[in-house]
Chains A and B, each alone.
Chain A
Amino acid sequence: DGGITQSPKYLFRKEGQNVTLSCEQNLNHDAMYWYRQDPGQGLRLIYYSQIVNDFQKGDIAEGYSVSREKKESFPLTVTSAQKNPTAFYLCASSIGTPNTEAFFGQGTRLTVV
């Protein structure tokens, strides 16, 4: 079945460590997105990529980095520069223009310990 797979479902990070969240899609979608979800904040955009080897910062990119070497994959690295990384992270993808809805993965819950 086609879909978006995020892994791991739960992730624990020690302070000062970098961690990478995986996002893979087999929907042949051009665009991929990373959102962060905090209680009462809705979904805030971290980074997005419209095509391979290209990506743009979203509203809260500081402390995060991404790569888009393959159409299917859009990993997110949470660096030690991110001061408050504990959150729920959602990856999404969508087909090319004209835009329609985005499809979401199951999410990754990151906790700093």
Chain B
Amino acid sequence: AQTVTQSQPEMSVQEAETVTLSCTYDTSESDYYLFWYKQPPSRQMILVIRQEAYKQQNATENRFSVNFQKAAKSFSLKISDSQLGDAAMYFCAYRSRWGNTPLVFGKGTRLSVIA
């Protein structure tokens, strides 16, 4: 079974600075997706970024980028120019590419942004 580990329960960052959230995962599969979801105080889950394991290029979405290290099974999220609206819970998730299988989530990292 796949597992996802987020080792930082809480993080904080100064507004306009950069922060990196860590995620590691365990799988025997070679073809899969990795995701970062954001859950603001409204508790609505919002997809931040997606990475396909077969792509070597790291995914980027505006101020959000990932560092995907497939051999190390590491998938960190970098938030640049942090804004107050970035304050939220961030969940790392894994999903097999085939089979309509569910997402497997880490326990989350609570990010605070300091003005």
Contact = CB atoms under 8 A, between A and B. Distances in A.
Interface of A: 30-31, 33, 35, 40-45, 48, 50, 58, 88, 90, 92, 94, 96-104, 106-107
Interface string B31-54: 001010000001111010010000
**Interface magnitude class on chain B:** 20 to 34
A98 B97 contact: yes
Contacts of A42: 6, 91, 105-108
Contacts of A44: 105
Nearest to B31: A98
B66 to A, nearest CB: 14
B43 A88 contact: yes
A35 to B, nearest CB: 8
A-B complex: 9 closest residue pairs judged by Cβ atoms: A104-B45, A42-B107, A43-B105, A50-B100, A31-B100, A42-B105, A48-B102, A101-B47, A107-B43
